[in-house]
Amino acid sequence: MLYWGLHMKKKNIFVKLLGAFLVPIVMMIVLGVVSYETASKSTMEKYEQSASSTVVSVAEYMKLLTQTVESGTTELLTSDQVKNYFGMNAGSKDKNKEATSYNEMKDLILKQTSSTKYTANVHEFAQLGRPASSTTKDSPTKVAFPDGAYDEFLKREGAVFEDSTVKSIWMGTHPYIDETTGITTDNYAFSFVKRFTTGKGFLTIDIKMDTVAEVLGKMDFGKGSSASIVTADGREINIQNGEVTDAKLYQGLDLTPAEGKDSVSEYVAVGGRKYLLLAAPVGETEMIVCALIPEASILEEAAGLRNTTVIFVLIASVVAIMIGIILSSDIRKTLNTISRCMQVASEGDLLVQIPTKKRKDEFGLVSKSIGKMLGGVKELLWQVQKFGGEVDTSAGQVAETTSQILSSMEEVNSALGSVEADVATQAQDAEDGYQMMAAFGDKINHMNETVDSMGSMMQSTIGSIQRGTTMVDELKRTATATGEITRELVDNVENVNEQSTAIARIIETISDIAEETNLLSLNASIEAARAGESGRGFAVVAQSIGKLAAQSMAAGSEITGIVASIEEATRTAAESAGQTEKNVDYQMKALEETVSVFHEINDTVQALVSNLQGITSGMTELVGDKDDVLKKIQAVSQASESASAATTEVTASISEQVEFLKGLTKDAENLQMQTRELEAAMSKFKI
C-alpha cells in the first residue's frame, strides 16, 4: 500500500513536470496566433489602404477626364461655327447661307469626335435650327433628330433642365437620343449634357465605353472583385474578370462618404458573401467610382504567414515535449531513489545511506544535504532523550509550586471582591449626592434667573411709567390748548351769528327796493302803452326792469333761506362748542388726577425694585456657595470612582493570574505526559 502511494506521487510529479513544459508550449502557440492575427490585421489594413488609394486615384483621373470634357463642351458652344449657326443662321431665309453655316458646325462636331480618343458621339439640337449628330457622319445630308427633338428631350431625360438654375448634368443613359440615333448603351459609358449659353438648345457628348473600361481595368483587385462607376441616374458599369457588365451590384449600398472623409471603406454583405466596399466621388459630377473586393481574397494574402507560423509552432512544441519527457524521466528516477531512502528513515532507521550522493547536479547536493540532515537528526534525538528526563523532573516541581501559589491567589481574590463591593457602594452614594446637589443648584440658578428677569421687568415698568407720565403731561397741555381753541370757536360762532343778522337786514332792504322797482316797471309799462307806437322802446325797457326786479326778489328770497340755514347751523355750532368747552374742562381735571396716580405708581415700583436688588444680591451669593459645594462633592465622587476602578483592575488582574496559574498547572501536567510519550517514541529510532 505504501509503495502504491509513492508510485502515485511519482506519477503526479511526472505529470506536473510535463505540465510545466506545456506552459511555454501553450505560450508559443498563443504567440503564433497573436502574431498571425496581428500580421493578418496589418496586412489587411495595408491592403485596404492601398486599394482605397487606388480607387481615389481612379476617381481623380475620372474627375480630370470629366473636367476636360466639360472644357471641350464649353469651347464647342463658344466656337464661331456653333454661335454663327444657332445664333444667326438657323432661322435664316437664305438657304445657302443656312446650309453653309450648318455644314461648318457639323464638321466641327465630327472633328471633335475624331480628334479625342474618349469621345464616342456628339449631339447638338435646339428649339430653332437643324440638329446635328456625329452618328450621321456617313451622310452629309442625313438629319439624326426629327423636328421637335428639343421639346421631346425636355419631356424625357432633359426634364431636370426645367429648373433654370441647372446648366449641365452628367447622365448614364439618354433613351430618347438612343432611340432617335440608333446607338446603344454599349457604345458609350456616360454622357455630358450642357445647356446653350444663349438660346434654347443642348450639346451632348458621349464618353466611349472602351475608355472608361480601360480606366476601371486599372483597378484589378483579384479574382471575384469588381471595379465600377455608378452614375447619378443609377447606371452601373462594372468590370469583372476583364469583362464589362451592367449588373446591379451596388443597389441598397450607401456610397456617400462620411462627413470629413473623401471616400468609403467598409465591409458589406452582397449575395451572402462579405466584400470590402470602396467608393470615391468623381468631383461634382455625382458619379462614384466603386470597387467590391471579396474578403476571402484579402485573407489569402496572410495565408502564407499563417502556414509558416503553424509549422514553426508545431516543431517547437514537439521539441519542447521531447525535452520535457527526458528531463521528467530522469528527475522521476532520482526522486524515486531519494523517496525510498527517506521512507526507511521515516520508519526509524537513521543509519540508511543515499546512493545518489555521487551525482554532480542539484540532486547530488540534495542527497548530501539529506545525509547531513539525518546526521543532525540523530544528534538531535540523542539530545532530546537526555533533555526529556530533565524536563519530566522540572515539570513535576512546577506543577507543585503553581498549586500552592494558586491557593494563595484565590484567597486574595475573595478579599478584594468584598472591598470592591464596598468601594462601589460608596462611589454610587457620592454620585447620587452630586446629582441631587446639581439638581438643587439648577433650581437656585432658575430662581436667580427669575429674579433677574423680574428686575429687568421692573426697570422696563419704571420706564413705561415715566413715558406714560410724560404722555399725560403732553395730553394735558394739548387739552388746555384745545379749550382755548374751543373758546375762540364759540366767539367766532357768535360773531358769525351777528353777521348773519346784518345780512338778513340787508336782504330785507334789497327786497323792498325790488318791490318798488317792480311797481315802477309796471307804471312804466302802463305809460308806454298809452304812448302807443312811440313808447314801444320804453315798454321793452320797462319789461326788462320788471324781470330784473323779479329776479332780485327771487335771489333775495334764496339768500334769506341761506342766511336762515347759516343762523341755524351757527346756533347748533355754538351749542356744540359750549358742550365741548365743558368736556375739555372735565378732561383737564381727569388728567391732573391721572398724573397724580402715575407718580404714586412710580414711587411704589421704585421701592419694589430696591427690594428685588437686595434679593438678587443674596441669590448671587447663594449661587457661588452652591458651586463650591458641587465641586467638593464631585471631588469626593471622583475619588470614590478612582478607588472603585483601581479595586476592579486589581481584582481583574488577580483573576487573570489565577486563571494563568491554573493553565500553568495544567500545562505542567501535560508537559509531563508529553515527555513520557516523547521518551517512548525516541526508543523506536536507531541512532
Residues 191-212 pLDDT 10s: 999 998 876 899 999 999 999 9
Exposed / middle / buried, residue 475 (Cβ in 10 Å: 0-12, 13-18, 19+): middle
Residue 313 confidence class, pLDDT cut points 50, 70, 90: confident
pLDDT at site 264: 92
Phi and psi at residue 248, in whole multiples of 5°?
Answer: -85, 90
What is the number of other CB atoms lying within 10 angstroms of the CB of residue 610?
A: 10
End-to-end CA distance of the chain: 27
Structure confidence by residue, pLDDT tens digits, 521-568: 788 778 777 777 777 776 777 778 878 778 777 887 878 888 788 777
Report the alpha-carbon distance of residue 15 to residue 260 in Å, rounded: 60
> Is the separation of the CB atoms in 85 and 102 below 8 Å?
yes
As a whole number, mean pLDDT of residues 12-21 equals 69
Q: Residue 59's pLDDT is what?
A: 93
DSSP letter at 349?
A: B
Residue 467: burial class (beta carbons within 10 Å; 0-12, 13-18, 19+): exposed
Which candidate, 615, 619, 631, places its Cα nearest to that of 437?
631
Q: Are strands 273-282 and 287-294 parallel, antiparallel or unpaired?
A: antiparallel
Average pLDDT over residues 126-151: 78
Domains along the chain with CATH numbers: 47-302 (3.30.450.20), 380-681 (1.10.287.620)
Grid cell digits, residue 512: 323792498
Please give the full DSSP string across 433-451, using - where no structure is assigned: HHHHHHHHHHHHHHHHHHH
Tens digits of residue pLDDT in 595-635: 787 777 778 877 777 777 777 777 777 777 767 777 777 77
